[in-house]
Structure 1
Amino acid sequence: MAPRTEGHVDLKRYQGTWYELARLPMFFQRNCAQSEAHYALKPDGNIAVTNRCRTMEGKWEEATGTASPQVEGKTDKLWVVFDNWFSRLLPGVAKGNYWVLDVSDDYKLAIVGNPNRKYLWLLSRTAHVDDKTRNDLLMKAQQQGYDTTRLIWRVEDSKIAKVAE
């Protein structure tokens, strides 16, 4: 059985910057020590996506793409396609499931995953949360059937090399 989604997500409130607190391992983020996503609602109802990743060496990498509803009018299940060589080579094949499983009433916390539970992201509007908030997010992800023992947590700033910007 697939995980439960939020139902309705107000994309206007969802846009903005989200910091990744933790994620399940994934190939495209294998070098990321810190990640953040920037979402901007476009006039056509889709979302412009800019993901940034900071490596342990302190360098920033960036990927841009577009998120669009999988079903018109439904905002909790999105397709995300990044503008890279793979998506240009195989248009329509290189799109990922982005399911909003939970979003707090104040739109400050979110849990995003995919239907086969291979991917999971715990997101916040701030780069750090208190232990209670962290434990609440973990509990919600576990209740949805995700293996939270495999989560990769955000690396503290002090552990990342200082690089001239």
Structure 2
Amino acid sequence: MKWILVIALVAFAGWLLVACSKDENASPNQTLAEYVDLDRFMGTWYVHGYTPTPLDKNAYNATETYELEEDGKIQTTYRFQKGGFDGKWKTMTPRGWVHDTQTNAEWRMRFFGLFTSPYYILYVSPDYKETVIGHPDKDLAWIMTRSANLGDRDYERLLLELAKRDYEMAKVVRVPHSAD
């Protein structure tokens, strides 16, 4: 039984490495946010829509928190409950950095200390209460706000930010929050 788990983890790590790192040095071919004020962007965001991966499939109460460190790196904490509101809490802590310092909208994230992936801030509202994040392959995306509550009309409006950039909309799943 243990060897099956090891094989599965190695296969998944290989898939993740290929999926997330193949465009590490790609330049954006899509519209990114014009400029991101890093100090205003830091803090906790509630994830309302996302493209699930095998690591975070069936996420509930998902949040992503960013903290700008003195060395310019961005400590990220992604937390969610697996499978339901009573599910076990899972936490991932990738570290990021700004790749494009002209706009601060293109980052790189390092996961598990093994691989790096592009992270594009596609949209951030003027009041820094809503954001839409994407990956250059347009197969991964996140819709986040500063509030655990997000009405259907606002969620649909933020989905349009992805649709305008030709993201794979069929893969985006709404994340339930207990405050809904």
TM-score range, shorter chain: 0.7 to 0.9
Distance 1:45 1:156 in 2: 31
| 1:2 Cα deviation from its structure 2 partner | 2.3
Distance 2:93 2:177 in 1: 25
Q: Runs of at least 4 residues of structure 1 off by over 3 A?
A: 71-74
Which residue in 2 is equivalent to 1:81? 110
Q: How many residues align?
A: 151
Name which of 25, 28, 37 aligns with 1:10.
Answer: 37
Name which of 122, 136, 142 aligns with 1:101.
Answer: 122
Secondary structure, counterpart of 1:33 in structure 2? strand
Matched, 1:152 2:173: yes
Give the 3 Å change call, closer, same or farther, for CA 2–73 of structure 1 in structure 2: closer
Secondary structure, counterpart of 1:27 in structure 2? coil
Name which of 75, 80, 95 aligns with 1:66.
Answer: 95
CA shift digits 1:128-151 (9 cap, x unpaired):
212321121011111110122322
Residues 149 and 177 of structure 2 are in contact (CA less than 8 Å); yes or no, is this contact kept in structure 1? no
Name which of 31, 39, 42 aligns with 2:69.
Answer: 42
Secondary structure, counterpart of 2:159 in structure 1? helix
Identity score, percent: 26
Secondary structure, counterpart of 1:45 in structure 2? coil
CA shift digits 1:62-107 (9 cap, x unpaired):
111211012345410000113x3xx3xx4xxx11111000000000
The alignment's C-alpha RMSD in Å is: 2.0
Distance 2:133 2:61 in 1: 17
More contact order relative to length (CA 8 Å, sep ≥ 6): 1
Distance 1:139 1:15 in 2: 24
Secondary structure, counterpart of 2:95 in structure 1? strand
Distance 1:97 1:154 in 2: 22
Residues 8 and 74 of structure 1 are in contact (CA less than 8 Å); yes or no, is this contact kept in structure 2? yes
Distance 2:147 2:38 in 1: 19
Distance 2:40 2:177 in 1: 27
| 1:58 Cα deviation from its structure 2 partner | 2.0
TM-score, length of structure 1 as denominator length: 0.83
Name which of 137, 155, 175 aligns with 1:116.
Answer: 137
Letter in 2 for 1:22: G
Residues 2 and 116 of structure 1 are in contact (CA less than 8 Å); yes or no, is this contact kept in structure 2? no
